Amino acid sequence: MPVFNVDQLESVGKCIFQAVGAIQKEAEIVAGLLANANLTGHDSHGVIRIPQYLGFIETGHIVLNNEIEILRQTKSSAVINGNWGFGQVIASKAINIAIEKAKSTSVSTVTVQSCNHVGRLADYAQIAADQNLIAMLTVNNHGAGTRVAPWGGSEGRLSTNPICFAIPRESHQPILVDITTSVVAEGKVRVKRNRNEKVPEGWIIDANGNPTIDPNDLYESPMGAILPFGGTVGHKGFALSMVVDILSGALSGAGCSRESPKKLGNAIFMTLFDISSFVPIEEFYQEIDNFVDWIKSARTAPGFAEITIPGEPENRIEQKRRKEGIFIEEQTWQQIEESAEKVGVDLGPFI
């Protein structure tokens, strides 16, 4: 089973994307963020996506080296047309625009349409947190990717509709919340399929609405569906999913989940808050430290050694994978090798 370091994975992606015509800067951004997703344990948003992106490039779904366009803006807001470039490139530009506006107006909101898959939302939220800003980001699938059943439904009507928050801390990593409003991200089901593993009970249903642990049931025709998060109270995840769909789709002009959208992608909603416009930054940091200490002071439940806060598990996985390497399942690596061979890239130096 192949094991790599993060630099190797980034180099693999960079070479493959440049081989199909991406300029160096764009290839570096996309490959770097994919590799970072693997590094932090989110393999569903990592290099497993390389073959998928190459397919999108081949069909013209991803338009290489395209410029974004600001459709409308105020001092504190903007609506961006990504012109169907790489999602990671578009989202990186959008978060920097939002940061600049938040620093001058206290709060900013930026939405994005015509954007491909952006990868892991936490990467962009972290950029804002590093600038002492609180970040909230959501995406839908540009009206497509309706693999999630509504509460009480037996077929897909929503995308996984993730929501992300980043809250900076002075001497610690930010508090990072990056969750789908479905039980699980579709990519995690894909990872299970590539590893020939069953999915946990409660993740998906088959085409007849029956619970299943076979990941293939999500992809074979007729397709099954992912459930909204919440289990027996899944109406809560479903409700939040609808809000995410509206913020991401309706405010960007990309549209909410629907039948027969033109393209699959990510429509983005991001709002940033300049903490110092509300309270002194030192006071805020002290309040968050006190709050985290209070949370962690609770007695642990049976089976738990400690209480971890959002973002800590990823930080620990990153430290471990930097030491031990990043495991890539055989099927995923084979797909990457086949993609590389197709575009004339020799992966021998990376193995």
Q: What is the DSSP string of 81-95?
A: E-TT--HHHHHHHHH
CATH for 1-62+315-351 (1.10.3720.10, 1.10.1530.10, 3.40.50.300, 3.30.413.10): 1.10.1530.10
> Tens digit of pLDDT for each residue in 145-157?
999 999 999 999 9
**Mean pLDDT value across the chain:** 96
Distance, first Cα to last Cα, the chain: 11
Q: Could you tell me the pLDDT band of residue 191, with boundaries at 50, 70 and 90?
A: confident
Whether the pLDDT of residue 1 is over 70: the answer is no
Q: Domain 66-183+227-279, what architecture? A: 2-Layer Sandwich (3.30)
Mean pLDDT (whole number) for 314-336? 95
Its pTM stands at 0.94
- pLDDT given for residue 210 in this prediction: 96
Question: Do residues 47 and 328 lie in contact, with contact meaning Cβ atoms separated by under 8 Å?
Answer: yes
Q: Using the Cα atoms of residue 8, residue 124, residue 133 and residue 70 in order, give the sign of their dihedral.
A: positive
Q: Report domain extents, the chain.
A: 1-62+315-351, 66-183+227-279
Tally of CB atoms within 10 A around 86:
29
Which tokens belong to 159? 């995308």
**Inter-helix orientation angle 50-58/6-19, to 10°:** 10
- pLDDT given for residue 351 in this prediction: 73
Three-state DSSP class for 300? coil
Distance (Å, rounded) from C-alpha 13 to C-alpha 37?
13
**Same fold for the domain at 1-62+315-351 and the one at 66-183+227-279?**
no
Mean pLDDT (whole number) for 13-25? 97
Distance (Å, rounded) from C-alpha 347 to C-alpha 204?
35
Whether the pLDDT of residue 263 is over 80: the answer is yes
Which residues share a beta bridge with 107? 273
- pLDDT given for residue 122 in this prediction: 97
Mean pLDDT (whole number) for 265-288? 98
